[in-house]
């Protein structure tokens, strides 16, 4: 195929590993389909994990062009606890630099794929440049439904009552949403949800990191106007496969363990737990008698996390932990953010998870080892959950194979832009 016939995609993620990683996997998938890809990332990143992963990706995929978008610090102009949400805002405030950057790229662009947290500031730029714009919603279709409708029901959510109602969705406990979205006043996260959700209608389509067999009902509701009328097509392209470089030392350790024997423990790239809770968890893991891979985090941002493992959990617990599992200070693929409880509900409904609902936001201050250990054994010894998880895994793999739903959806998107690109 001639180089000029290849569609040229620009991918624009926001901050945090839970946003960056799906974008990198999408870039790899597009490149595998003979698509020219340019990745634009904010510089500097919030976390070391992001910058290290970008270096690994660029080395592994030299065919993907990488451009940096310089982001000045936001300073003390806005007060908000989450550094990643502050970085979203810093990127949004620097969006004026995006237009000349996009205009300078060659060959001409076919489409810009935007992180959902940047939608409202990027779509006006792509419209001005007459470029197709697609949103990449890196979470579940159910969370997308909430995000898309939030701007219309924000006042109801902030009102009285413990649950909220949304079109096509069953009643949802308000405790499943992060506290800023429940506030009656203004805050950064709430503003982003409202402004971005309102902008969804102006996009050419919304890509989601899910697959049809997993969320058939939510995808159908989104695509038939039951959630928001005139929402653009919602295209399931997941679950996107990890890049080969993502395994590292963990893959080597896991390959030495018996099949179905390891529990993975992580609270994601944006959630730190207290030292007390960390030690309770460590003791609970050891007491469970199960093998485990535990990714620890003592600070919200890894650049500030200078404690050694022994300082975090204590020498005695660390020695016990090392006998039963692997404990790491690194990022692994599991994010706790605005969508965590919605996704926990999705996993439980698909019978691949146990969810103790009073642990977490609005729940207990600390969960003791005497509660943790039996829950771990219950999970690891549940044959039905194991079998269902394997079934879902196989369906996810099928969706990405030749003839699979997600594979066909991605190819369909590429071909539609290839035709548009050819007749410009």
Q: Is 15 exposed, middle or buried (0-12, 13-18, 19+ CB in 10 A)?
A: buried
Alpha-carbon distance of 167 to 171, in angstroms, equals 10
DSSP β-bridge partners for residue 70: 43
- CB-based contacts of 339, cutoff 8 Å, min separation 6: 139, 140, 143
- The residue from 19, 87, 192, 421 that is catalytic is 19
| Residue from 313, 341, 348 nearest 327 by CA | 313
SS3 content of the chain, % helix, strand, coil (to 5): 50, 15, 35
Is 19 in the active site?
yes
- The residue from 82, 87, 115, 421 that is catalytic is 115
Give yes or no for a contact between 12 and 114, defined as CB atoms under 8 angstroms apart.
yes
Enclosing H/E stretch for 415: helix 405-422
Give yes or no for a contact between 71 and 44, defined as CB atoms under 8 angstroms apart.
yes
| DSSP H stretches of helix in 174-314 | 188-199, 216-223, 248-255, 275-288, 309-313
Is 87 in the active site?
no
Alpha-carbon distance of 72 to 92, in angstroms, equals 11
Q: Is 151 exposed, middle or buried (0-12, 13-18, 19+ CB in 10 A)?
A: middle
163-166 and 169-173 beta bridge pairing: antiparallel
8-12 and 325-328 beta bridge pairing: unpaired
DSSP 233: P
Alpha-carbon distance of 271 to 18, in angstroms, equals 12
Active site residues: 19, 115
């Amino acid at each position: 195929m001639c180089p000029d016939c290849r569609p040229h995609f620009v991918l624009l993620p926001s901050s945090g590993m839970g946003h960056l990683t799906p974008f990198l996997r999408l870039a790899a998938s597009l490149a595998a389909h003979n698509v020219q890809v340019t990745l634009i990332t904010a510089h500097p990143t919030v976390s070391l994990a992001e910058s290290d992963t970008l270096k690994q990706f660029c080395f592994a995929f030299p065919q993907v062009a990488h451009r940096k978008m310089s982001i000045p610090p936001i300073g003390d102009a806005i007060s908000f606890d989450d550094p990643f949400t502050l970085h979203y805002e810093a990127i949004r405030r620097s969006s004026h630099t995006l237009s000349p950057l996009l205009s300078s790229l060659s060959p001409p662009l076919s489409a810009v794929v935007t992180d959902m947290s940047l939608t409202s500031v990027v779509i006006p730029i792509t419209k001005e440049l007459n470029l197709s714009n697609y949103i990449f919603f890196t979470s579940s279709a159910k969370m997308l439904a909430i995000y898309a409708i939030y701007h219309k029901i924000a006042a109801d959510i902030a009102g009285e009552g413990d649950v909220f109602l949304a079109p096509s969705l069953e009643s949802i406990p308000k405790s499943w949403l992060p506290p800023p979205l429940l506030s009656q006043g203004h805050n950064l996260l709430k503003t982003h949800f409202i402004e971005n959700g309102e902008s969804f209608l102006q996009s050419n389509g919304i890509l989601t990191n899910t697959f049809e067999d997993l969320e058939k009902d939510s995808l159908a509701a989104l695509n038939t106007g039951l959630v928001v009328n005139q929402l653009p097509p919602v295209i399931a392209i997941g679950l996107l496969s990890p890049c080969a470089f993502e395994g590292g030392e963990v893959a080597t350790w896991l390959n030495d363990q018996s099949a179905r024997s390891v529990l993975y423990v992580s609270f994601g790239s944006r959630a730190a737990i207290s030292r007390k809770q960390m030690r309770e968890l460590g003791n609970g893991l050891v007491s469970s008698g199960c093998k485990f891979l535990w990714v620890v985090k003592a600070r919200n941002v890894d650049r500030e996390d200078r404690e050694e493992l022994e300082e975090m959990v204590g020498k005695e617990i660390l020695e016990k932990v090392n006998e039963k599992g692997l404990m790491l200070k690194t990022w692994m693929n599991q994010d706790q953010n605005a969508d965590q409880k919605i996704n926990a509900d999705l996993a439980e409904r698909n019978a691949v998870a146990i969810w103790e609902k009073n642990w977490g936001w609005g729940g207990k201050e600390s969960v003791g080892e005497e509660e943790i250990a039996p829950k771990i054994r219950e999970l690891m010894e549940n044959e039905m959950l194991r079998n269902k998880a394997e079934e879902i895994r196989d369906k996810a793999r099928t969706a990405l194979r030749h003839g699979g739903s997600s594979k066909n959806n991605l190819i369909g998107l590429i071909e539609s832009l290839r035709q548009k690109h050819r007749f410009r």
